[in-house]
C-alpha cells in the first residue's frame, strides 16, 4: 500500500553525486571540472589530489562520494568507472561592499557554485 519508488535519475550503469554551496565562482570551478571529464576515476582522483587549485579538494570529495554511491548503492565495479559528466552550475551570490573615495560604494560579489559529477561503468575491451 506504500508509495511507488521514484524512477532513477541516471542510467543503470551510472551513479551521481552533487555538491552545493561551493564558495568559488563557477568559472574557476569549471576549470577543475574540465580537468577530470572523461578520465578513469583513479586517474581523476590522482589529478585532483596533486592539483594546486584550492577548490580541487572539494571536487575530490564529491568524486569520492560518486564512487561510493556507485559501489554501495548501485553495485558497480569501481575499477571500470569513468567520469562521464562533471558540470557546474551557479548558486547564490552574496553582495557585499566596500566604501570608496568621495562617498562612493564599491560592490563586491561573492559567488557560490554547485557541482554535479556522474560516473559510468564501462566494460573493458579485450
CB-based contact 87:33 (threshold 8 Å): yes
**Residue 90 CB coordination number (10 Å):** 13
Contact by Cβ (8 Å): 105, 99: yes
pLDDT digits (tens, 9 = 90+) for 30-52: 999 999 999 999 999 999 999 99
- What range defines the domain where residue 66 resides? 14-121
User: Which residues have CB under 8 Å from 58's CB, separation 6+?
Assistant: 19, 22, 115
| pLDDT tens profile 78-93 | 999 999 999 999 999 9
Q: How confident is the model at residue 126 (pLDDT cuts 50, 70, 90)?
A: low
The per-type count for the chain, helices as H runs and strands as E runs, is 3, 3
Mean pLDDT of 93-109: 97
Mean pLDDT across the stretch 17-27?
Answer: 96
- Which pLDDT score, from 0 to 100, does residue 65 have? 97
CATH number, domain with residue 38:
3.90.470.10
Q: Is the pTM of this model over 0.95?
A: no
Q: How many domains is the chain partitioned into structurally?
A: 1
Is residue 116 in a domain?
yes
C-alpha cell at 49: 589530489
Task: Please indicate, yes or no, if residue 43 is contained in any of the structural domains.
Answer: yes
Interatomic CA distance for residues 29 and 26, integer angstroms: 5
Residue 7 confidence class, pLDDT cut points 50, 70, 90: confident
Query: Residue 9 falls within a domain, yes or no?
Result: no
Amino acid at each position: 500500500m506504500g508509495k511507488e519508488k521514484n524512477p532513477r535519475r541516471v542510467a543503470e550503469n551510472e551513479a551521481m553525486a552533487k555538491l552545493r554551496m561551493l564558495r568559488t565562482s563557477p568559472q574557476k570551478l569549471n576549470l577543475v571540472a574540465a580537468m577530470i571529464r572523461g578520465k578513469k576515476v583513479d586517474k581523476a582522483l590522482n589529478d585532483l589530489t596533486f592539483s594546486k587549485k584550492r577548490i580541487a579538494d572539494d571536487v575530490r570529495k564529491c568524486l569520492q562520494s560518486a564512487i561510493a554511491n556507485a559501489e554501495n548503492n548501485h553495485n558497480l565495479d569501481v575499477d571500470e568507472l569513468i567520469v562521464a559528466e562533471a558540470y557546474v552550475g551557479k548558486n547564490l551570490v552574496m553582495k557585499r561592499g566596500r566604501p570608496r573615495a568621495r562617498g562612493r560604494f564599491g560592490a563586491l560579489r561573492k559567488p557560490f557554485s554547485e557541482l554535479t559529477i556522474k560516473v559510468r561503468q564501462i566494460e573493458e575491451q579485450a
